[in-house]
Amino acid sequence: MAIPTKTMAVRLFEYGGPDKLIFGEYDLPPLDAHDVLVKNFAGSVSRWDVKYRAGDLARYQLPGRAAFPLPQQLGREAAGEVIAVGGAVTRFKPGDRVIGVTHPEDPDAAETARGLGNLSRNLAIPGHQTFGSYAQYLVRDERMWLPLPGGVDYEQAGVALWPFSSSHRVVRDRLMVRLGDTVLIAGASGGMGQATMQLCELAGARVIATTRHPGKVAMLRELGADAVVVTADAERARADVLAFTAGEGVDHAIDYTGSPELLRFLGSVMRLGGRLVISSEQGREPMPFTAADMIRLELNLLGIRGARMNDMLAVLKLLGKHQINTRIAARFPLARVSEAHTLLETSPNLVGRIVVLPWT
């Protein structure tokens, strides 16, 4: 077949509402020696995409990372089939099933040598510094693709690698969850929360999920939570957590919401010597913990900034064994990505991830 030179895609040329996402036909870059051309069958819409589109990331500068440019083609996750390869490509051939790398590492960075490839510099992350997956065809360096295990459908692959690899680092390396531990998750209904619940279950831990919406309780239980507390009444929720843990409090907690109120709640139910990971920020308010709190509880307060290559490889093994699964909240064709953004921004009852299907 002739190598495509154009693709249908959605691009962002100026910040604003969902109407700024422009669907159309665009030129593909030429295929360089180490590039791979992939027919993209599935990707995702994330809250990072929404923040980028709205201009919230324009002032968000991470150490060692390039700024967030315009124009941009959003979408961090992708899964598809190799159509063509450059002359120097050794990893893939046409017909191979692949999944897009969501957390690249700089192999020459000092951070990578320290085992912190997620913090390495000089990276171009899809949908952040370089064009993402809101397109039917994608051209990327062969190092930006990984083999997709057999038997994994494209839809699950297109929403799994980002949340599960980040959650894998949270569960394994930051919280160091062990058999019998109790983990409290704030923001459990999103992709990261779902992934963390499943990985905690695989580790033999009990999970308590929080929600502000009583209508989500049954679904969170279905997704694997051993208990669900509704934080609209913080005192009742605190009593429920303490009752579930026989008055000890939770061994670990992870916040995916960025809410100061929920952070304060998490701090109030921590066990002595517990670990609390913060993975989201909604504003610039100081954290609701004092030095006295840190000393009294001997609290371990930790941050998390993405995953590493070994986390992605671990997730691919779990995908291949069908040990993890993502609940799909909605599916949209590429031409209706703007509607997907609206749904993600406005629906209080959304549980799961939104899939983009470029060939629907």
Per-residue pLDDT of 53-109, as tens digits, reads: 999 988 777 777 778 899 999 999 999 999 999 999 999 999 999 999 999 999 999
- Distance between alpha carbon 276 and the CA centroid of its chain, in Å? 19
Sheet with 206-211, side-by-side order of all strands: 227-230, 206-211, 182-186, 250-255, 270-278, 300-303
CATH number for the domain whose boundaries are 164-303:
3.90.180.10
Please state the domain extents for the chain. 6-148+327-357, 164-303
308-355 residue pLDDT tens = 999 999 999 999 999 999 999 999 999 999 999 999 999 988 889 999
Are 6-148+327-357 and 164-303 the same fold in CATH? yes
Task: List b or e across 72-108, with b for residues whose CB sees 16 or more CB atoms inside 10 angstroms.
Answer: bbbbbbbbbbbbbbbeebeebeeebbbbbbbbbbeee
Paired with 100 in beta bridges are 145
What are the tens digits of pLDDT across the range 260-293? 899 999 999 999 999 999 998 765 678 888 899 8
Q: Report in angstroms the alpha-carbon separations of 204 from 83, 193, 198, 199, 228.
A: 41, 17, 10, 9, 18
Q: How far apart are CA 241 and CA 8, in angstroms?
A: 49
- Distances in Å between the alpha carbon of 277 and those of 105, 142, 208, 225? 22, 33, 15, 19
Q: Which residues contact 337 (CB under 8 A, 6 or more apart)?
A: 10, 21, 23, 45, 134, 356
Rounded to whole angstroms, what are the CA distances from 98 to 34, 140, 322? 16, 12, 17
Cα 256 from Cα 249, distance rounded (Å): 19
Taking only the tens place, the pLDDT of each residue in 224-257 is 999 999 999 999 999 999 999 999 999 999 999 9
How far apart are alpha carbons 32 and 124 in whole angstroms?
Answer: 17
Q: Could you give the 3-state DSSP secondary structure of residue 155?
A: helix
Which pTM does this prediction carry? Answer: 0.94
The domain 6-148+327-357 belongs to what CATH superfamily?
Medium-chain alcohol dehydrogenases, catalytic domain (3.90.180.10)
